[in-house]
């Protein structure tokens, strides 16, 4: 299944890109991700691999495409759900438009997958709102009650 979300941030494109490309920052704006550790590579770059621990499971992801300041693609290497996430960063007059496009295979039967993907899309949109607040205000309270700030 495929879906996409867009959000505008009043933050410079290069700053948004740098923060989002560093996969170790995901727990600061996605409450469901508990920890991300880099397993291969030095900083965000094509071929960098990460072990992502979520509340109920874990997976290995890899950056498979990167155009600094413009786009980033991250894919599941091991674990479920299997996804391909392409994030585009567009300069706007006020900052950055982030376009977050997903290809997702949940492994569920088609009818259940449609329901699951709708829920996931809404959850991703909520997480993007948290990213926006974090980068614009410097701090945010996540859905699970944690309060985080840039640099924490």
For the segment 35-80, what is each residue's pLDDT rounded down to a tens digit? 999 999 988 999 999 999 999 999 999 999 999 999 999 999 998 8
On the question of a cis peptide bond just before residue 133, with omega within 30 degrees of 0, the verdict is: no
Give the residue ranges of DSSP H helices in the chain. Answer: 13-21, 110-137
Contact 102, 3 (CB under 8 A): yes
Query: What is the structure's pLDDT at 12?
Result: 98
Which of 95, 122, 82 minimizes the C-alpha distance to 19? 95
Residue, of 43 and 132, whose pLDDT is higher: 132
Taking the CA of residue 57 as centre, how many other CA atoms within 13 Å lie in the half-sphere pointing to its CB? 7
Summary mean pLDDT of the chain = 94
Query: What is the structure's pLDDT at 15?
Result: 98
């Amino acid at each position: 299944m495929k879906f996409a979300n867009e959000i505008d941030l009043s933050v410079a494109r290069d700053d948004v890109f740098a923060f989002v490309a560093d996969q170790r920052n995901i727990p600061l704006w996605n409450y469901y991700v508990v920890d991300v550790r880099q397993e291969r590579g030095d900083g965000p770059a094509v071929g960098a691999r990460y072990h992502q621990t979520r509340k109920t499971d874990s997976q290995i992801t890899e950056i498979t495409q990167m155009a600094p300041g413009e786009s980033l693609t991250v894919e599941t290497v091991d674990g479920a759900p299997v996804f391909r996430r392409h994030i585009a960063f567009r300069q706007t007059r006020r900052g950055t438009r982030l376009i977050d496009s997903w290809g997702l295979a949940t492994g569920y039967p088609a009818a259940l997958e449609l329901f699951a993907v709708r829920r996931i899309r809404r959850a991703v949109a909520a997480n993007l709102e948290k990213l926006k607040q974090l980068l614009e205000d410097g701090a945010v309270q996540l859905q699970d009650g944690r309060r985080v700030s840039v640099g924490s």
